[in-house]
Amino acid sequence: GNSVTQMEGPVTLSEEAFLTINCTYTATGYPSLFWYVQYPGEGLQLLLKATKADDKGSNKGFEATYRKETTSFHLEKGSVQVSDSAVYFCALTSTGGYNKLIFGAGTRLAVHP
Amino acid sequence: DAGVIQSPRHEVTEMGQEVTLRCKPISGHDYLFWYRQTMMRGLELLIYFNNNVPIDDSGMPEDRFSAKMPNASFSTLKIQPSEPRDSAVYFCASSPGQGNRETQYFGPGTRLLVL
């Protein structure tokens, strides 16, 4: 079945640094890919998504490109802020439909002033 | 829209007690999901419903767990009897049946502590 692997955290950066969080996937067919973010004490919320190869999802300065050739969907941001400190989850749709998502283990990001 | 609503936000109970977690999905959404999040196991899908019908409950850990969705605006997750290893944050999420059907919208979660 479909699965997703993302880099282990925590990732610790200084404010205004460049961020990359790696995500690779294994899938049959053509899944949609997602990044969700979880701020402390809150539920997950959708950050961005891409539904087909070479699509770029973007939101709040974050970007990720659906790379079928490398089966990757790495999350990037050019200049992080303290307010970006959160846990980031990569996810993809499961085979079999019914809107089921497969989530990665999550990567904690800590941004210091 | 108020988003997905969960209650209670925090629950502390003693081992052996019954625990009921509640969820109100976003109006008009056809899918409802229950997840459990722990440090050790991460985010786990327990069960999900489509149009109030359970589709996949393979993630429910054991018979002590049960979930119901009596109507489109309400679902419960019950643990009876509860055990300390059930301590976790439980999330409910919903998604629309059409349009942006793959995006799930999460509630704030219920933090459960079983002593």
Q: Are β-strands A56-59 and B105-106 bridged in parallel, bridged antiparallel, or unpaired?
A: unpaired
- Assess whether pLDDT exceeds 70 at residue A96: no
**Digit-coded pLDDT (tens) for B48-93:** 999 999 999 999 988 999 999 999 999 999 999 999 999 999 999 9
**Digit-coded pLDDT (tens) for A18-77:** 999 999 999 888 889 999 999 998 999 999 999 889 999 999 999 999 999 999 999 999
- Assess whether pLDDT exceeds 70 at residue B1: no
- Assess whether pLDDT exceeds 70 at residue B37: yes
Report the length, in residues, of chain B.
115
Query: A105 contacts in B (CB within 8 Å)?
Result: 42
Instruction: Between A15 and B100, name the one with better pLDDT.
Output: A15
Q: Answer whether B65 touches A (CB < 8 Å).
A: no
Output helix, strand, coil percentages for chain B, rounded to the nearest 5.
5, 55, 40
Give CA–CA dist B71/B56, Å, rounded.
Answer: 18
Interface residue ranges in chain A relative to chain B, Cβ cutoff 8 Å: 32, 34, 36, 41-46, 49, 51, 89, 93, 98-101, 103, 105-106
- Bridge partners for A11 per DSSP: A109
Nearest to A89 among B31, B43, B56 (CB): B43
Give CA–CA dist A35/A73, Å, rounded.
Answer: 9
CB proximity list for B103: less than 8 A, separation 6 or greater: A34, A46, A49, B95, B96
Give CA–CA dist A47/A36, Å, rounded.
Answer: 5
CB proximity list for B81: less than 8 A, separation 6 or greater: B15, B16, B17, B18, B64
Give CA–CA dist B44/B80, Å, rounded.
Answer: 19
- 3-class DSSP assignment, residue A82: helix
